[in-house]
Amino acid sequence: MTKKLLLMIAEKYPITPIDGACVEGLRASGMKFNIRAYHAEGLGHVSVMTAKGFFGLMKMDTLIVNPTEVDLPLYSYDRIFAMGNDTLIVELYDTLSSGDFSMEDVKAKYSSLTERDPGEHWYDSIKLPESISKKGKKADTPALSRLATEHLAAYLDAARPTDNPEVKKEKASLYVEGLLSKGGPSTDAFKKAIGEEKTADLFRNVLFGTK
């Protein structure tokens, strides 16, 4: 699915792999991760992470957009397939320079899909209401995939020029540094597997491009 989402981005913004921003075979929490970062001209930093584990019974795909060149919120897509369950999580974080954002309400079209309780986290105050948290079974996968693609399309269509890229850079950096200091599901797993210093380098340089 991340390949399709990446192609959607590439249709609007030319994408180039970033030299050296590639991690292969990283192991954490019983999963094997491959990560690659890109520069999307006119948009910003994009990274894709795929993971498999537990004899192929669990798969996870992640796509992150840190839109340094347009005034959009930071975008984080996660898709988790495990034991016949399909989970879709798309989180949008306020890294806007204008403080104002609106996009087509795609979620309303898919209100019949089961909501997932995301729990409470330190970053909830900057997570925007356009975020998604859904869960389903194999039969729900086509609908969840349509929701993911339509949501990304609406997000990209909402792009507008930024008048203060330094504000966006600072907000994105604060979020990433918060993940490193206060924690998050993937942050904690990577810290345990490769240590704090390598995790910080991975997040700043490859996943989010905030360094």
pLDDT tens per residue, range 45-59: 999 999 998 777 899
User: What are the residue ranges spanned by the domains of the chain?
Assistant: 2-207
Give the pLDDT confidence score for residue 29 in this predicted structure.
83
Q: Does domain 2-207 have CATH number 3.40.50.300?
A: no
pLDDT at 147: 98
Report the pLDDT value the prediction gives residue 184, as an integer from 0 to 100: 85
pLDDT digits (tens, 9 = 90+) for 28-43: 888 999 999 999 999 9
**What is the predicted pLDDT for the residue at 20?**
86
Spans of the chain below 50 pLDDT? none
Q: What is the 3-state secondary structure (H, E, C) of the chain?
A: CHHHHHHHHHHHCCEEEEEEEEEEEEEECCEEEEEEEEEECCCEEEEEEEEEECCCCEEEEEEEEECCCECCCEEEEEEEEECCEEEEEEEEECCCCCCCCCCCCCHHHHCCCEECCCCCCHHHHHECCCCEEEEEEHHHHHHHHHHHHHHHHHHHHCCCECCCHHHHHHHHHHHHHHHHHHCCHHHHHHHHHHCHHHHHHHHHHHHCCCC
Indicate the average pLDDT of the chain.
94
